[in-house]
Amino acid sequence: MVINRQMALTKTKLVKTLVSPVVTKRALTVLLTLAAMPMFTALTGCSDSKVSLNADNPLVGTKVTEGDKEPIWPNDDPSIPDGKGVYAAQNCATCHGADGKPVAGKATIDLSDKGWARKQKPVEQYDFITFGKHEGGGAEHPVMRDKLRPSEIWNLVFYVRSLSTPPLTDEEIAEIDPVFGANCAVCHGKKGFGNGPLMKGNTLEPLPANFQSFPRFYDRTDEILWDHIANGIKWEGMPNFLGKEDRAKNIKFDEPYIWRMVGYIRHFHESNKTEIATRKAHEKEEKEEANEANEAKSGSEKSGETSK
C-alpha cells in the first residue's frame, strides 16, 4: 500500500506538472520551432538548393577549420632522450646534420651554436616545427603537426636545444641543489613551484616565479634567464647575483656559474631521462613528499599532546 500510495502521489504530481501553464507554454514553443524548421533549412542552404563547396569559396576553405596556431603544452617535462629518437625517426640530420650543423644547400642555421640557441624561446621553436615556415627566400621548414604528437614535438624541441647546451646530469643537479636551497628556495621553493617559506600566507608581491610553469618559462630565452639571475629584476624583489659569493658553499656567482644556474632552472621543465623514467621519478617524488607531509603532521600532533 505504501508503494501504491507513493506511485499515486507521483502520478498526481506528474499530471499537475503536465497541465501547468509553464509546461504548456514550453510545448507551444517547441511546436512552433519544429514548424519553422523547413524555412530555416532552406535559408541556410541545407535544402535541395545546391551549394558550391570548391576550394575557391572562402567560406569553406581549409583555413576555416584549421584553428588558431596556439601551442599545446606538454603533460610532463619533455624528454631529451626521446627527442633524440624523434630527430632520428624524422631524418632531421638530412638537413641539420647529426650534430646540429647545417648541411650545405639544405639548412642555414647551426643548431649547435650556443650564441644562437641562447636567443631562442622554446615556444617559438615549437611553433616553427609544428606549423612550419614558408617565407619565400627566408627560413623554411615543413609542417610537422600532422606527423607528430605535441609531446613528440616538445621532446624534439628540447633535444634540438641540447645540441648546443647539453642538459645537466643528475650529478651536476645534485651539486647545485644545496646552492639553490640556500639562495633561491626561500622564495621559489625546493622544487621550484614558487612556494618557498617566505610565501607562507602569500606575503610576497609579485609572486615568486614558478619554474614548473610551461607557459611562462617556455616563453623565456636562456639569455633572459641569465640576465634575471645575474642582474635581478627591478621592482619585483629578485636580487642580483653576478659577482656575489656563497662562502659557506665556496661558490662565486660569476658568468659561467650563472649559466649553470640557467641549466638548473631549465631542469625543472625539461628532463634528461626518457618519458617513462621521468614519470617514475615524479611518482617517487610525490610519494616522498606525501611521506614527509605525514611525518610533519604526526610530529606536530605529538608536540601538541606533549604540551598538554
**pLDDT at residue 185 in the model:** 94
CATH of the domain at 108: 1.10.760.10
Report the alpha-carbon distance of residue 145 to residue 129 in Å, rounded. Answer: 8
Q: Do residue 133 and residue 186 come from a single domain? A: no
Q: Do residue 81 and residue 157 come from a single domain? A: yes
Cα–Cα distances in angstroms (integers) from residue 151 to residues 158, 179, 285, in the given order:
11, 32, 22
Report the alpha-carbon distance of residue 110 to residue 153 in Å, rounded. Answer: 19
Report the alpha-carbon distance of residue 216 to residue 212 in Å, rounded. Answer: 9
Q: Which domain holds residue 245?
A: 170-269
Is residue 301 scored above 50 in pLDDT?
Answer: yes
Q: With bands split at pLDDT 50, 70 and 90, how would you rate the model's confidence at 93?
A: very high
Characterise 301 by phi-psi region: left (phi > 0), alpha (psi -120 to 50), beta (else): alpha
Q: Do residue 99 and residue 182 come from a single domain? A: no
Of residues 84 and 294, the one with the higher pLDDT is: 84
Question: What are the pLDDT digits (tens) for 246-272?
Answer: 999 999 999 999 999 999 999 999 999
Q: Do residue 179 and residue 154 come from a single domain? A: no
Contact 250, 241 (CB under 8 A): no
Q: Do residue 195 and residue 263 come from a single domain? A: yes
The amino acid occupying position 278 is: T
Of residues 43 and 211, the one with the higher pLDDT is: 211
Q: Which of 140, 162, 184 is the last residue of a domain?
A: 162
Q: Do residue 181 and residue 153 come from a single domain? A: no
Q: Which of 134, 162, 190 is the last residue of a domain?
A: 162
Question: What are the pLDDT digits (tens) for 226-241?
Answer: 999 999 998 888 999 9
Contact 132, 148 (CB under 8 A): no
**pLDDT at residue 299 in the model:** 66
Q: Do residue 211 and residue 241 come from a single domain? A: yes
Residue 56 covered by a domain: no
Residue 137 covered by a domain: yes
Alpha carbons within 13 angstroms on the beta-carbon side of residue 232 total 11
3-class DSSP state of 232 = coil
Contact 242, 258 (CB under 8 A): yes
Residue 39 covered by a domain: no
Q: Do residue 181 and residue 158 come from a single domain? A: no
Residue 179 covered by a domain: yes
**pLDDT at residue 235 in the model:** 80
When the pLDDT of each residue in the chain is averaged and rounded to a whole number, the result is 81
Report the alpha-carbon distance of residue 60 to residue 120 in Å, rounded. Answer: 36
**pLDDT at residue 25 in the model:** 53
Q: Do residue 196 and residue 151 come from a single domain? A: no
Residue 11 covered by a domain: no
Cα–Cα distances in angstroms (integers) from residue 180 to residues 74, 188, 192, 229, 264, in the given order:
26, 9, 10, 12, 9
Residue 69 covered by a domain: no
The grid coordinates listed for 201 are 600566507
Q: Do residue 183 and residue 248 come from a single domain? A: yes
Buried b (16+ CB within 10 A) or exposed e, 22-56: eeeeeeeeeeeeeeeeeeeeeeeeeeeeeeeeeee
Is residue 17 scored above 60 in pLDDT?
Answer: no
Q: Which of 116, 136, 162 is the last residue of a domain?
A: 162
The grid coordinates listed for 174 are 645534485
Q: Do residue 156 and residue 79 come from a single domain? A: yes
pTM tops 0.95, yes or no: no
Of residues 30 and 262, the one with the higher pLDDT is: 262
The grid coordinates listed for 235 are 621592482
Of residues 19 and 233, the one with the higher pLDDT is: 233
Q: Do residue 112 and residue 188 come from a single domain? A: no
Domain count along the chain: 2
Residue 305 covered by a domain: no
